[in-house]
Amino acid sequence: MGWSYRKSIKMGPFRLNLSRGGVGHSYGGRAFRVTKTADGRRTLTVNLPGGFHWKKTLS
């Protein structure tokens, strides 16, 4: 098992995510969030009340 590192820095609706794989960022709130991961994937996430969520990879 290898080592890992993850740190998240929140600045209002913008979040900077630091990990062993690189730097990613996300924008939005609880209900709606757009994320770009360290490896370049972009994801749109929509969270609804009651635990329902929808996630789509954009690229």
Tokens of residue 7, six digits: 């740190």
Considering only residues 1 and 28, tell me which one the structure prediction assigns the higher pLDDT: 28
* Cα 10 from Cα 7, distance rounded (Å): 10
Predicted TM-score of the model (pTM): 0.73
* Structural domain total, the chain: 1
| List of residues 6+ apart from 28 with CB closer than 8 A | 13, 34, 45
pLDDT in tens, 6-53: 899 999 999 999 998 899 999 998 899 999 999 999 999 999 999 899
Enclosing domain of residue 9: 1-30
- For the beta sheet containing 6-11, the strands, ordered from the edge strand earlier in sequence to the opposite edge, are 6-11, 14-19, 22-28, 32-36, 42-47, 53-57
Residue showing tokens 């994320």 = 35
Give the pLDDT score at 1.
59
- pLDDT of residue 3 exceeding 90, the answer is no
Give the pLDDT score at 44.
95
* Domain membership flag for residue 51: no
* Domain membership flag for residue 48: no
* Domain membership flag for residue 13: yes
